[in-house]
């Protein structure tokens, strides 16, 4: 959500800024802009719309300079517009600011600044920062101190990049609850909200923690805490490469990432068993019998797609281990005064490791004495650093806003965590463990089998059902959770009204919505619940709905009630969710593509939700 990039060096900063902003488009945004300092003047170019609009503006009205900051904005305060786009100026145009996050007390500060004579031209909370920095800068002409004092006044979240005409060789950056890194180059340095923005130039960076500042010059970086004390940090080296952020011949990143799932599942299983294959190894996590002995409940907390991965974990842990598991949306968890303590294990799941609500839930859990296990993809992220233990999902870089391979990695992680806890507490026999392990080892080839064989049929189904206005997804048990994720994907990228329902709940209200134009996707992979779900599909079929079913190979009787069927390879009951979701991803992808939507960057959505 929003993106920041900054450059100081010997090159013209504009191409670097545009390249960086283009690499951050996956984060979601509605306007873009740059501020470039040259010959004592800051020139700002910004516009509503995509980075390509900004590039066109720069061709018409070019600027250049060796110091610059850029931004992609996702509107919070004020509608998307040229005026509300970042960067923002101080009134005398000596200071320019870019900002990710939300200034919660901006109205109070704005009233104070207006009383001092400052004029506001936008509706944003960020302009308050520009004027407040200017206010403190006028006290002693010290840019770093002005930013530091500003941070003491503002409440909320921020990642900031600040430049000043009196400091042509300096870029000041700061963060709190919104990610920001400082990239290290040779004779040049950078700031960015995520590594892809600078991956063409460096893979080394300082990761700023909350309430830390950076003074960045082309050949020097100094780091400070909020009190102005200089601090030392280790340089973090990213293992991602430029190729990971490219489409590699695929039409969209989403399609590329769907096809990367066999490797992702394989990577997440590799080296996570002992050499004899009889035990799980969770990356050195200290969560053995001793630590688990005092745990009497588990909370799994996440947002969006990660929340559905957590629901799968809840179902499996309760069934295999017998420990009560609550699964909560992170934004609700924080405000319900959860009944957790030192006897609670809290598992937080986040692809980016920067999800604001999930990070706040983690902090709350630790305040209450709970042990926190993070399941994240981004190494060195805020959630990874603050958790007691972290299990990395090894999905590689995911660019498409709609998560696919990260979800499969998270589900695989939940399989491993469940088996680990079950083993440590003696809740699973060696025979059952071996059976599940053998099924796990087949998953990568089975995912590949679906990708190889199912696409032609799914393309046909998309052509058949593309006129659908209302789509229901139904299932029972684990299939219900898979239905939630399938429905979400269709909403996210195809913009179709879609709702998931527990199949047994249809008669309690939702069946009233069924009519002849309704498409019902029935997920029927749980053998123990197959007949019951089939019966529910018969009910909607009798009321005129069209039925597209997802079932395991061999369950041919589903064809008695379904208009069309997608079969997945047979597997252990606890592993069907991962396989059943692959056809749903493909269905949503091709539906969105054929409807002419921007698949990788769906409207109003952001990849990393760093504000509440």
C-alpha 567/C-alpha 461 separation (Å) is: 13
Interstrand relation of 230-231 and 220-225 (parallel, antiparallel or unpaired): antiparallel
C-alpha 145/C-alpha 151 separation (Å) is: 10
Place of tokens 């017998």: 322
Q: Tell which residue, 576, 554, 577, 550, has the closest CA to residue 562.
A: 550
Q: How many CA atoms lie within 13 A of 256 on its CB side?
A: 19
Peptide bond into 3 cis (omega under 30): no
Element (H, E) at 42: strand 41-48
C-alpha 75/C-alpha 176 separation (Å) is: 19
Count of helix runs (H) and strand runs (E) in the chain? 18, 25
3-class DSSP assignment, residue 61: coil
3-class DSSP assignment, residue 182: strand
Active site residue 437: no
| One-letter-per-residue 3-state SS of 16-36 | HHHHHHHHCHHHCCCEEEEEE
Place of tokens 């066999």: 262
C-alpha 269/C-alpha 443 separation (Å) is: 10
Give burial (CB, 10 Å; 0-12/13-18/19+) of 407.
buried
Contacts of 483 (CB under 8 A, 6+ apart): 473, 474, 475, 500, 501, 521, 523
Active site residue 2: yes
Continuous H helices in 141-286: 143-153, 253-259, 261-269
DSSP characters over 361-400: HHHHHHHTT-EEEEEESSTT-HHHHHSSEEEE-------S
Do 19 and 204 meet the contact criterion of CB atoms below 8 Å apart? no
Place of tokens 């252990």: 572
Q: Within the chain, what is the greatest distance between any pair of CA atoms? A: 80
Degrees (nearest 5) of the Cα angle 418, 424, 427?
A: 70
Contacts of 126 (CB under 8 A, 6+ apart): 77, 86, 88, 97, 98, 99, 103
C-alpha 163/C-alpha 68 separation (Å) is: 8
Residue of 2, 164, 303, 524 marked active site: 2
Active-site residue set: 2, 607
């Amino acid at each position: 959500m929003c993106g920041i990039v900054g450059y100081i060096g010997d090159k013209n900063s504009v191409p670097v800024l545009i390249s960086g902003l283009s690499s951050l488009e996956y984060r979601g945004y509605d306007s873009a802009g740059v501020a470039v300092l040259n010959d004592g003047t800051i020139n700002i170019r910004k516009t509503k719309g995509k980075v390509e609009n900004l590039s066109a503006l720069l061709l018409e009205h070019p600027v250049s300079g060796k110091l610059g900051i850029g931004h992609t904005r996702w509107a919070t305060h004020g509608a998307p517009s040229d005026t509300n786009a970042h960067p923002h100026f101080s009134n005398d145009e000596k200071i320019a600011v870019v900002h990710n996050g939300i200034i919660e007390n901006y109205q109070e500060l704005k009233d104070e600044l207006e009383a001092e004579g400052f004029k506001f031209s936008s509706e944003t909370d960020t302009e308050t920062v520009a004027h407040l920095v200017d206010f403190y800068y006028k006290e002693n002409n010290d840019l770093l101190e002005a930013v530091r004092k500003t941070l003491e006044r503002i409440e909320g979240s921020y990642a900031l990049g600040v430049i000043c005409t009196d400091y042509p060789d300096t870029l000041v950056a700061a963060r709190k609850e919104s990610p920001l890194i400082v990239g290290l180059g040779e004779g040049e340095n950078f700031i960015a909200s995520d590594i892809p923005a600078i991956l063409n130039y460096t893979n080394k960076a300082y990761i700023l923690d909350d309430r830390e500042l950076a003074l960045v010059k082309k050949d020097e970086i100094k780091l400070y805490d909020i009190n102005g004390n200089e601090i030392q940090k280790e340089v973090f080296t990213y293992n991602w490469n430029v190729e990971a952020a490219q489409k590699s011949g695929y039409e969209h990143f989403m399609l590329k990432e769907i096809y990367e799932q066999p490797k992702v599942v394989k990577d997440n299983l590799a080296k996570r068993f002992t050499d004899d294959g009889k035990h799980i190894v969770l990356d050195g996590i200290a969560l053995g019998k001793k630590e688990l002995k005092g745990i009497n409940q588990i909370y799994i907390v996440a947002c969006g797609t990660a929340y559905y991965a957590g629901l799968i974990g809840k179902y499996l842990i309760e069934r295999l281990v017998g420990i009560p598991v609550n699964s909560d949306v992170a934004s609700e968890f924080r405000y319900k005064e959860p009944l957790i303590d030192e006897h609670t294990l809290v598992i937080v799941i986040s692809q980016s490791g920067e999800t604001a609500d999930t990070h706040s839930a983690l902090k709350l859990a630790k305040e209450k004495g709970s042990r926190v296990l993070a399941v994240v993809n981004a190494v060195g992220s805020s959630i990874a650093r603050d958790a007691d233990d972290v299990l990395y999902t090894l999905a590689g870089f995911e660019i498409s806003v709609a998560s696919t391979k990260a979800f499969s990695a998270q589900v695989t992680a939940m399989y491993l965590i469940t088996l680990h806890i079950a083993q440590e507490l003696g809740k699973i026999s060696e025979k059952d463990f071996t059976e599940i392990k053998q099924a796990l080892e087949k998953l990568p080839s089975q995912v590949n089998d679906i990708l190889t064989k199912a696409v032609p049929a799914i393309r046909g189904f998309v052509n058949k059902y593309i006129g659908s206005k209302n789509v229901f997804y139904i299932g029972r048990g684990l299939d219900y959770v898979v239905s939630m994720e399938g429905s979400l994907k269709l909403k996210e990228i195809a913009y179709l009204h879609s709702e998931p329902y527990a199949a047994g709940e249809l008669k309690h209200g939702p069946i009233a919505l069924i009519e002849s134009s309704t498409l019902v996707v029935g997920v029927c992979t749980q053998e123990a619940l197959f007949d019951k779900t089939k019966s529910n599909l018969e009910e909607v079929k009798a009321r005129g709905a069209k039925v597209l079913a997802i079932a395991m190979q061999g369950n041919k009787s589903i064809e008695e009630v379904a208009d069309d069927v997608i079969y997945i390879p047979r597997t252990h009951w606890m592993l069907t969710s991962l396989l059943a979701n692959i056809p749903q991803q493909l269905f949503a992808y091709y539906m969105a593509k054929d409807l002419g939507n921007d698949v990788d960057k769906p409207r109003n959505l952001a990849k990393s939700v760093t504000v509440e």
